[in-house]
Amino acid sequence: MPVNKGKAWEAIFKSGWSKSFPNGTIDRLYDPTNGYIAISNVSDFIGYDYPLIFYLELKSHKGNTFPFTCLPQYEKLTAKVGIKGVRAGVVLWMIDHDLVLYVPISTITKMKNDGKKSVNVKDIDDYHIIKIPGVKKRVFIECDYRCLKDLEEGC
């Protein structure tokens, strides 16, 4: 049976977050994938490190682009924008490029308003997309998420 890289990456992410924020916390929200279509969470993870709370949707994607249609949590995440001390976004592992990115939900809104249908690796320098520093292991990238503490309000 093939290994689900996305689920394995969630464990790597959680470990990396805990190492990056040893005085913080990270919780995986219940994953309603057992046929309960009417149930959906705001994000995969909620992390906290004083004074910030992070709503983080984790995605892994092959290829050059991550389509916005693969982000059903968009509306719920946008509801978090503008709340003092709250950061909401997508932690995106671009598998073929060995990149882990943080894409604020406000950046996705701007991209949509600009007519974009996806995040492309070519867009990294044109939009507020953060490259998460990390070390590539055999398959996964072990990241240091401390750079997310410096995010400005609304990201």
Q: What is the DSSP string of 82-93?
A: TSTTEEEEEEEE
Q: Which amino acid is at 63?
A: G
Give SS3 for 112.
helix
Q: What is the pLDDT of residues 118-154, one digit of tens each?
A: 999 999 999 999 999 999 888 889 999 999 998 887 7
How much is the pTM? 0.91
Kindly report the backbone phi and psi dihedral angles of residue 13, in degrees, each rounded to the nearest multiple of 5, phi listed first: -60, -50
